[in-house]
Structure 1
């Protein structure tokens, strides 16, 4: 914002990145217009005072509703997976656990490295895992 000057034009493909929610997007659009900056939205064209501001407000509200729907769907999927893990030991999609799958057993990696006095590179090569994984598992 410190770089934008009066008379500049900002081109955006969508409105979402201008703010965290609909009110934030609207406030940013007003702030830009007050600074004398033209906001050009792909598919809408340049935004000005009046009707264009109302169109931006409606679009921002729709984007905010969509963001909330996506969050609700994700939360419901996580809840279903947790319930399934508690009931059957597997998620509703058949995975053995929630979250990112483990590359290897941390205790076995650390023990193998300790027993052999191996470097991170040697441990990586022997077990076929990444440098970051070896470092993370052996740090504890």
Structure 2
């Protein structure tokens, strides 16, 4: 196997989260960044990374939960990369998986760590559901508060009909264009 590139993969779940702390200080030849949920394996940067890497490359990932949120997806991604001759290193867990170091112990470690990541995600979702149920039982509204009040929506509709720019209105009301368009439906 030839020495290849060191390729980084970083992921956060939403666009307002920061990717900077992941793989900070690690020299990488290329970095693939996703701002998407880990529940989907068809993330644009992950798909691009899988197509980009070649035999001898190493993929560096901050932690197991950044690559996949469930054990089935984790094993499939790591196995797929290993089958191409690509090693996968999880920095936080200090674990490396590659075809030539594959052993029953490595398989067990990947499965255990992946199961812990999946369990942690399940616990987060359970606490979230409990919090929503408690808020509803207390008569509090669940979810994010509306960015635009009904009176704002009516004013925006009137101003749009009068020819005002939707982009300018979105900026004035401090909402995204998507939020503005959704309110106008």
TM above 0.5, one fold?
yes
Q: 1:94 corresponds to which residue?
A: none
TM-score by length of 2: 0.55
Q: 2:143 corresponds to which residue?
A: 99
Q: Aligned pairs, how many? A: 126
Report deviation, 1:30: 1.8
TM-score by length of 1: 0.70
Mark the runs of 5 or more structure 1 residues left unpaired by the alignment. 86-90, 92-96
Structure with bigger gyration radius: 1
**For the residues of structure 2 that align with 1:19 and 1:27, how far apart are their CA atoms?**
10
In structure 2, relative to structure 1, the CA distance for the partners of 1:103 and 1:45 (3 Å cut) is closer
In structure 2, relative to structure 1, the CA distance for the partners of 1:31 and 1:111 (3 Å cut) is closer
Mark the runs of 5 or more structure 2 residues left unpaired by the alignment. 1-49
Alignment of 1:1-140 (within 5 A): 1-42=50-91, 43-47=93-97, 48-50=101-103, 51-85=105-139, 91=140, 97-107=141-151, 109-111=153-155, 114=158, 117=162, 119=164, 129-130=173-174, 132=177, 137=183, 139-140=184-185
Q: Which has the larger share of strand?
A: 2
Deviations 1:26-59 (A, max 9, x none): 1222222222111122142422301222111100
C-alpha RMSD of the superposition: 3.0
Q: Which has the larger share of helix?
A: 1
